[in-house]
Amino acid sequence: MKLLSVRGLSKRFGGIHAVDDVSFDVPQGSIMALIGPNGAGKTTLFHLVSGFLPPDRGSVVFDGSDVLGLMPHQIAARGMARTFQQIRLFPKMSVLENILVGRHLHSRGGFLACMLHLPFTRREERGVREAGREILTFLGLSTQADAEAVRLSYGQQRMVELGRALACEPKILLLDEPAAGLNMRETAEMGKLIGRIRDRGVTVFLVEHDMSLVMDISDEIIVLSYGQKIAENVPSAIQQDPDVIRIYLGDGDA
Amino acid sequence: MRKQGLQIAGFAAVVAAIHLVASLTGNVYHLTQMTMSAYYSLVVLGLCILTGYAGQISIGHAGFFAIGGYLSALLTTHDLSAHGGPIVSGLATMGILTRRPDLYGGDLLTVHPWAACIFAVLTAVAIAYAIGGPVLKLKGHYLAMATLGFGIIVYRIVLGTTLVGAADGIYDVPAFPLLPGIAVSGKSSLRVMNYYVAWGFVILGMVFLLNLVRSRVGRALASIHGAEDAAEAMGIPTARYKLKIFVVSAAFAAVAGVLLTHYNGGIGPSESSVMKSVRYLAIVAIGGMANLWGTLLMSLLLNYLSLRGYFGTYDDAVFGGILILIMLFAPDGLLRRQLFEDLKEAVFPAGGEKET
């Protein structure tokens, strides 16, 4: 079953085709990776799918409904959570508080109810905190709950950002270079974590540069070059694909 | 939440202690400035949640204060007995109008203060909704300029409209009977009662805002301040939240404007001046930005000193100067939580074990 279905998606910036007529499907429960050289349009594609940029043409169908033209928060409410290439944690908030923001969609209290501290908001807050602590345990960050999030190590900050997205209980998780800036040990941990997230029933769609990570965890890989999809296959086939080898290693006469 | 209850109780004790000290030292008349300071504090607290927590600057809050104050003043002083039409008699039968003697013993037919207050605050809220939509799409300096523009427009309108007294403002505004036996009034016989009424409003507002910042909505507002795109990705409707907190903040200013106008018995154009907006912002900044208690204490102190005339002719310059100094040297505000840790690190640099 296809959870995310992208058809003919295109975006131009001036004369540059950042994303050029790209189509693909992400099956439910899979780990799908998007790779390609710098400037291939991977992050732009993420922005188009998650509603942060409007496409020029094409369609994005998520979980059976067209999400094109919706605001990012509306797409998030339908079950799509994402992280950012540049870590976007909330400063001046603890690790736990960062995660709790991710529970926004699973609580209801409005301005008036919260100002009056109505009984249902108190019950709700207890549930939110419980869920937040469960996420921290899942990430192995329980001891850091009260530390200021932006003071953690880079690798841990990536984990918190991922945990925050996970707290949304998404159907699909979009990860924009989850291993960027991580050392080898942290990258391996991240790979294991992504596997465990899929085991929780969350479909994962990621952009990544680290080839060993991508080859390790992905069910399927899409290769983008100059905005166009040039290959889509299982990892072992992608490794043998002459077009992919050419764009990564250059032509014979280069 | 128990901690919050203790803080509120402690603050109420401070309010009572100030009254006690003032009466023991024979300075009860100082409570008048403390009462005015309370109403200004309501504006500042509303601005604190907007600017300090949600990160949306406003240099136009004196405008909302003035809309509240002026509308209530106009409606409760404008004599309707000459307009005998069906609307006036209809309003009179609904109990919205009230008769009272004017300064010279004549008979006045005006809108009742409660009806005037509700109309004034709702109008301010409607204006905040209308301008908030487009203005809050702007960020940083652009938002500051747009709200500054709004403040200047309100000031020029007030100054140029003879209906609201132009440069003289509106005077002879009646007392506001809040409840039987309790009125917002500047009469010296009601001074002590009004002192407690005013600080009662502040404590009520404080409870609302403390509840808000410690809730799901408060976290959402802080996340908009911290990283708006990430907040949006977490499903927070950032545009709607910014508009709502702008309206809440404007409502605080308008309520304060209504109450202070009835307390002072009038309002003048200086209440809507840009320097008033700058003053409110300066107090939020020195209070620690995202720090309601720090802002409240600074507001209490600085408004009191200003109203007692300690800053003399440099009054506006003091607040402008505070704002500049804070922005230059402590853009996160002065009374922030980190302050004491930073001081410790400055005194004992070797003691800092945290890696950066």
Question: Which chain B positions have a beta carbon within 8 Å of A112's beta carbon?
Answer: none
Tens of pLDDT, residue by residue over B25-36, are 999 999 999 999
Chain B from 147 to 176: CB within 8 A of any A CB: none
Q: How far apart are CA A44 and CA A200, in angstroms?
A: 28
**What's the residue count for chain B?**
356
Angle at Cα A242 formed by Cα A240 and Cα A244, nearest 5°?
85
Q: Which is more confident, A27 or B90?
A: A27
Of A91, A101, A116, nearest to B220 by CB-CB distance is: A101
Q: How far apart are CA B294 and CA B299, in angstroms?
A: 8
Inter-chain touch A115–B212, beta carbons under 8 Å: yes
- Å between A119 CA and nearest CA of chain B: 12
Region of B18 on the Ramachandran plot (φ > 0 left; ψ -120 to 50 alpha; else beta): alpha
**Closest CA relative to residue B255, chosen from B329, B186, B198:** B198
pLDDT of amino acid B340: 66
Asked whether residue A254 carries a pLDDT value surpassing 60, the answer given is no
Q: Is A25 helix (H, G, I), strand (E, B) or coil?
A: strand
**Closest CA relative to residue B100, chosen from B177, B41, B37:** B177
Inter-chain touch B208–A116, beta carbons under 8 Å: yes
Asked whether residue A195 carries a pLDDT value surpassing 70, the answer given is yes
The pLDDT of A173-177, averaged and rounded, is: 96
**Closest CA relative to residue B258, chosen from B92, B124, B87, B109:** B124
Q: How far apart are CA B245 and CA A16, in angstroms?
A: 40
Residue A81's φ and ψ, nearest 5 degrees, are -115, 155
**A61 in any annotated domain:** yes
The pLDDT of B252-267, averaged and rounded, is: 98
Inter-chain touch B234–A81, beta carbons under 8 Å: yes
Question: Which chain B positions have a beta carbon within 8 Å of A168's beta carbon?
Answer: 234-235
Inter-chain touch B222–A89, beta carbons under 8 Å: no
**A254 in any annotated domain:** no
In chain B, % of residues over pLDDT 70: 96
**A139 in any annotated domain:** yes
Give the residue numbers spanning the domain of A211: 2-249
Q: Please tell me the total count of domains within chain B.
A: 1
Mean pLDDT of all residues in chain B? 92
Give the residue numbers spanning the domain of B97: 2-272
- Helix H, strand E, coil C: the string for B116-154 is HHHHHHHHHHHHHHHHHHHHCCCCHHHHHHHHHHHHHHH
**B70 in any annotated domain:** yes
A51, A74 contact by CB (below 8 A): yes
Q: Is A89 helix (H, G, I), strand (E, B) or coil?
A: coil
Residue B154 tokens, joined: 């309100």
Neighbour-count burial of B198, counting CB atoms closer than 10 A to its CB (0-12 exposed, 13-18 middle, 19+ buried): buried
B293, B283 contact by CB (below 8 A): no
Which single residue is written with the structure tokens 């131009």?
A12
**A6 in any annotated domain:** yes
Q: Please tell me the total count of domains within chain A.
A: 1
Tens of pLDDT, residue by residue over A35-93, are 998 889 999 999 999 999 999 999 999 999 999 999 999 999 999 999 999 999 999 99
A interface test, pick of B216, B229, B240, B342 with most A CB neighbours within 10 Å: B216
B270, B261 contact by CB (below 8 A): no
pLDDT of amino acid A80: 97
Q: What pLDDT band is residue B351 in, cutting at 50, 70 and 90?
A: very low
pLDDT of amino acid B354: 45
Q: Is B113 helix (H, G, I), strand (E, B) or coil?
A: helix
Tens of pLDDT, residue by residue over A134-147, are 999 999 999 999 99
Of A50, A84, A125, nearest to B215 by CB-CB distance is: A125
What's the order of all strands across the beta sheet hosting A203-207? Answer: A80-82, A172-176, A203-207, A31-35, A220-225, A228-233
pLDDT of amino acid B245: 98
**B355 in any annotated domain:** no
**Closest CA relative to residue A81, chosen from A157, A162, A139:** A162
Of A73, A90, A117, nearest to B232 by CB-CB distance is: A73
Asked whether residue A253 carries a pLDDT value surpassing 60, the answer given is no
B160, B166 contact by CB (below 8 A): yes
Residue B158 tokens, joined: 């007030």
**B155 in any annotated domain:** yes
Q: How far apart are CA B319 and CA B273, in angstroms?
A: 14
Residue B188 contacts A, CB cutoff 8 Å: no
Q: How far apart are CA A66 and CA A61, in angstroms?
A: 4
pLDDT of amino acid B1: 62
Q: How far apart are CA A223 and CA A35, in angstroms?
A: 5
**B341 in any annotated domain:** no
Which single residue is written with the structure tokens 């100054």?
B159
Q: How far apart are CA A88 and CA B231, in angstroms?
A: 9
Query: What CATH number is attached to the domain comprising A239?
Result: 3.40.50.300
Chain A residue with CA closest to B214: the answer is: A114
End-to-end alpha-carbon separation of chain B, Å?
33
Asked whether residue A250 carries a pLDDT value surpassing 90, the answer given is no
- CB under 8 Å to A215, separation ≥6 — which residues? A235, A238, A239
B280, B201 contact by CB (below 8 A): no
A20, A47 contact by CB (below 8 A): no
pLDDT of amino acid B87: 81
pLDDT of amino acid B338: 66
**Which 8-state DSSP code applies to residue B187?**
-
Count of alpha carbons within 13 angstroms of residue B20, beta-carbon side: 6
Tens of pLDDT, residue by residue over A222-235, are 999 999 999 999 99
In chain A, % of residues over pLDDT 90: 90
Residue A15 tokens, joined: 């004369």
**Which 8-state DSSP code applies to residue B122?**
H
- To the nearest 10 degrees (0 to 180), the angle between helices B191-213 and B238-264 is 170
- Å between B93 CA and nearest CA of chain A: 33
Asked whether residue B110 carries a pLDDT value surpassing 50, the answer given is yes
pTM score of the predicted model: 0.93
Tens of pLDDT, residue by residue over B145-197, are 999 999 999 999 999 999 999 999 999 999 999 999 999 999 999 999 999 99
ipTM (interface pTM): 0.93
The pLDDT of B291-297, averaged and rounded, is: 95
**B345 in any annotated domain:** no
Asked whether residue B333 carries a pLDDT value surpassing 80, the answer given is no
